[in-house]
Amino acid sequence: MEAIECRCRDCGKMLSRGIDEYYKTRCIDCWKLYKAARKQNRPPFNETRQSSAPDPTVTELYGLLGGLIRLAHPDKHGNSKLSNEATAWLLEKRREVKGNSCSQ
């Protein structure tokens, strides 16, 4: 099974999960804290911390990458070497930006 690397939604540590394990958004330590909090009817760990909104630059960049990928796509440029390299680079950057979060 192929694994995806992403960040825990609570503490930010990197975690690994399978492609079909979309529900795993917390590392094991934060998941245990979350479950314990729910049993005691208290707010989960991530809701007690001050929420940190995503960096607007990263959010904007992720939104632009899809359009840039379509603009540079080899199908639009006669399958040129440069368009293949540019598209591969843009796809890699999109994976890096997306890898900073477990949400999809």
In whole angstroms, what is the distance from residue 13 CA to residue 55 CA?
A: 17
> What's this model's pTM, rounded to 2 decimal places?
0.44
Which long-range contacts does 25-33 make (Cβ < 8 Å, 24+ apart)?
A: 25/102, 25/103
In whole angstroms, what is the distance from residue 41 CA to residue 35 CA?
A: 10
**Residue indicated by tokens 């399958």:** 79
Domain ranges of the chain: 1-51, 53-104
In whole angstroms, what is the distance from residue 51 CA to residue 70 CA?
A: 34
pLDDT per residue of the chain (104 residues) written in tens, 0 to 9: 688 888 888 777 888 888 788 888 888 888 888 888 888 776 655 554 444 445 556 667 777 888 889 999 999 999 999 999 999 988 888 887 776 555 54
